[in-house]
A and B are shown apart, each in its own frame.
Chain A
């Protein structure tokens, strides 16, 4: 199923296959993410979300197929575009002994920011980091750490933002606040966002496209509204359960 996309997608994945010895993590998937859109990769554990995102980031080499990000072939040409991308993931941390300011200073320099101090000031204001900017990152609460991780992800004002579980382990209030900031950023900068999440209400709120993965393949691909309507469900979580438990095909056949 194809979604109408801009002529030059920010991310294009073509017949991507990734095998780890006998295990096929991703099995010939293709999709393109239009510039300025927000898409979600959904699927149960082992569906291939992390492998797909890692391949898009250039951390994993495809077994076959192509991944092109902002026109650069990944991972071969990754250094041509990495300064225009950023990511946030609960599976990585920033050095805990360094203060928030020190961490952001280091990453600002790594990403080639012209005025790092000015960028840190702006982020501190936008993300409300002022109170703990000079505290060691390891001594912050989970919510504060997430805001710092988001600040790092936005330090270079990326054109593409890859988010893996951006609100995992956050209380509802902080999670809502983070989603608001992501919406603001996308609206203000026209950034492309690709996120993997298990939080269906988050996906419904943020994304205009959902790619459902199962066992390394694309099970479905559409807007949240159309998926909910097609499966005859009231929300995305029920659609997810239908697909995960193999009820999608039965329902479509019955219809």
Chain B
């Protein structure tokens, strides 16, 4: 059979389209707007967590010494942990919504490119986190007199590093979901908890056994939480820690994106893109 020669380039072929990214953001914005339980859920757990750790902080700070100083960072720690956890979850849930709706086939068959899809999910994770963290930060001021936003520029650098880590993990999880369908859903909900003890959210790295500290320092959030304690306890912004966190995040993002592309390729080989089931 004589096959047609490949096209050079179609005039309306666009490598990266902000309009398609906006279309996907709009799709998830429509969904959030139409469902108050989804919006409520974005605020509920962060608020519960913050109140629980806030009261614990208040109790421990009534004692004296080092413990009281360390406890002063609990509320900040829980809120930064939420940035890491909810950043990944915001991305992954938006992706899962497509699977629950059986819409993934429509998207995969549309001109939407993987990079545009990922960009839209990143924007959605920021929107979802903002809806959750802003009211909770106001609650922290009201209940415990702790103003998260007073950390200023340091907070912006912490947020950026935590978002980068959460996206790297979420991109890899999206690849797992494409390849394995909803059978990999538990990874989306639970993978970040593996980082909870290792990234030393509520305690300094020095608490860990020596061999485990080596693993801990391989994870970018560890540098953020250490930096947060340095800022709140010693009033010092550790830019060296943030630079190292950025470098590690670059590595982590490279691994996440490469893993995603390999898993997407594997999903095309195995024909799992239309299935989406378990």
Contact = CB atoms under 8 A, between A and B. Distances in A.
Contacts of A133: none
A221 interface: no
A68 B3 contact: yes
B96 to A, nearest CB: 13
Given A82-B111, A91-B102, A97-B31, A61 B268 contact: yes
Contact of B106 (A70, A81, A94): A94
A241 interface: no
Contacts of A95: 27, 30-31, 97, 101, 103
Contact of A12 (B3, B13, B22): B3
A86 B108 CA distance: 11
A77 B106 contact: no
Contacts, number: 138
B6 A71 contact: yes
Contacts of B113: 79
A99 B17 CA distance: 24
Given A20-B271, A60-B273, A93 B101 contact: yes
Contacts of B270: 20
A12 B6 CA distance: 11
A98 B32 CA distance: 10
A8 interface: yes
A9 interface: yes
A217 interface: no
A109 B103 contact: no
A109 B1 contact: no
Interface stretch (A51-59, A122-130, A195-203, A225-233): A51-59
B1 A30 contact: yes
B111 A12 contact: no
A81 B171 CA distance: 26
Interface in B90-114: 97, 101-113
Contacts of A60: 268-269, 271, 273
A50 B4 CA distance: 23
B111 A79 contact: yes
A61 B269 CA distance: 5
B7 to A, nearest CB: 4
B105 A59 contact: yes
B20 interface: yes
A240 interface: no
A96 B110 CA distance: 18
A50 B9 CA distance: 28
Contacts of B3: 12, 14, 66, 68
A187 interface: no
A92 B106 contact: yes
A189 interface: no
Contacts of A89: 105, 274
Given A59-B273, A61-B265, A71-B5, A98 B23 contact: no
10 A-B pairs with the lowest CB-CB distances in the bound complex, closest first = A109-B23, A92-B105, A71-B7, A61-B268, A93-B102, A83-B111, A82-B111, A106-B27, A95-B101, A110-B110
Interface of A: 8-9, 12, 14, 18, 20, 25, 30, 32, 50-51, 54, 57-61, 66, 68, 70-73, 75, 77, 79-87, 89, 91-99, 102, 105-107, 109-112, 136, 152
Given A91-B102, A96-B101, A110-B110, 7 more contacts: A79-B111, A91-B274, A92-B102, A92-B106, A97-B31, A107-B110, A112-B12
Interface of B: 1, 3-7, 9-10, 12-15, 17, 19-20, 22-24, 26-27, 30-31, 34-35, 97, 101-113, 265, 268-271, 273-274
24 contacts: A20-B270, A30-B1, A61-B265, A61-B268, A66-B3, A72-B6, A79-B113, A81-B7, A91-B274, A92-B106, A94-B101, A95-B27, A95-B30, A97-B30, A98-B30, A99-B30, A102-B27, A106-B23, A109-B19, A109-B26, A110-B24, A110-B111, A112-B17, A152-B106
